[in-house]
Amino acid sequence: MRENWAGVRKHILFCVALLTCLSISSCASLKGWRAEKVVPEQGAREHLAGGQKARARHNYQASLQEFEAALSLSGNKPPGDEALLNVGMVYVDPENPKRDYPKAIASFQRLAKEYPQSTWAEPARIWMETLKEQERLKQVMSETLQENEKIKRLWNDALKENERLKRLANETAQENQRLKEIAKQSKMVDVEIDKKKRGQGL
């Protein structure tokens, strides 16, 4: 009987040990699963914070790198929407010497498309429309300036042509005066010839 009890006891201890190992193993895998879920988001938020600090120091290249890293870690989930908004804001920052409105528009468009329910989607759409309007006005301004330059050239050409016509008119008037003088002299010569002819009885 004691031998049977010892065998049962060993068997129970073995089962407990096995269950303990399985429990530890499953806890470890659960921790790993949680880490996979939590760590990327935490990392993304850390990169977001780093990007905002870099932007505040006007280090736009570093801030873009941080926001891109946050976006990469987000995997089409928040805070990827916030990262995209910040990328767009870097490109529209008036103090950024490399500001780029088309790139900002692309970033805002991506936010609105990939995160339509995000709280950042509406501000992104407003920015997008504002920038598109600015680009349109810039194009209109450029075309207006080109048209003004064309009108200026035409005006200058017209002034030059007017000056040329004035000179031509002066030259024509001088030529007419010269011909008048020649005609007057010719008439005087004819009168003298007539006098001589009459004097000689011709």
Instruction: Read off the pTM.
Output: 0.58
> What does the pLDDT look like over 131-167, one tens digit per residue?
999 889 988 999 999 999 999 999 999 999 999 999 9
Q: Domain for residue 98, yes or no?
A: yes
> What does the pLDDT look like over 13-53, one tens digit per residue?
444 443 444 344 444 333 443 434 445 789 999 999 999 99
Residues 92, 123, 114: CA angle, nearest 5 degrees: 95
Q: Domain for residue 156, yes or no?
A: no
Q: Domain for residue 60, yes or no?
A: yes
Counting the structural domains of the chain, the total is 1
Q: How far, in Å, CA of 67 to CA of 117, rounded?
A: 20
Q: 159: buried, middle or exposed (CB in 10 Å: 19+, 13-18, 0-12)?
A: exposed
CATH number of the domain that residue 117 is part of = 1.25.40.10
Q: Domain for residue 185, yes or no?
A: no
Q: Domain for residue 90, yes or no?
A: yes
Q: Domain for residue 84, yes or no?
A: yes
| Residue position matching structure tokens 């990328």 | 87
**Mean pLDDT rounded to a whole number for the chain:** 83
Domain holding 103, by residue range, is: 39-148
> What does the pLDDT look like over 92-110, one tens digit per residue?
999 999 999 999 999 999 9
Q: Which residue has the higher pLDDT, 159 or 200?
A: 159
CB contact at 8 A, 23 and 57: no
CA 108, 109, 110, 115 torsion-angle sign: positive
Q: Domain for residue 172, yes or no?
A: no
Q: Domain for residue 27, yes or no?
A: no
CB contact at 8 A, 41 and 79: yes
The H or E element containing residue 119 is none
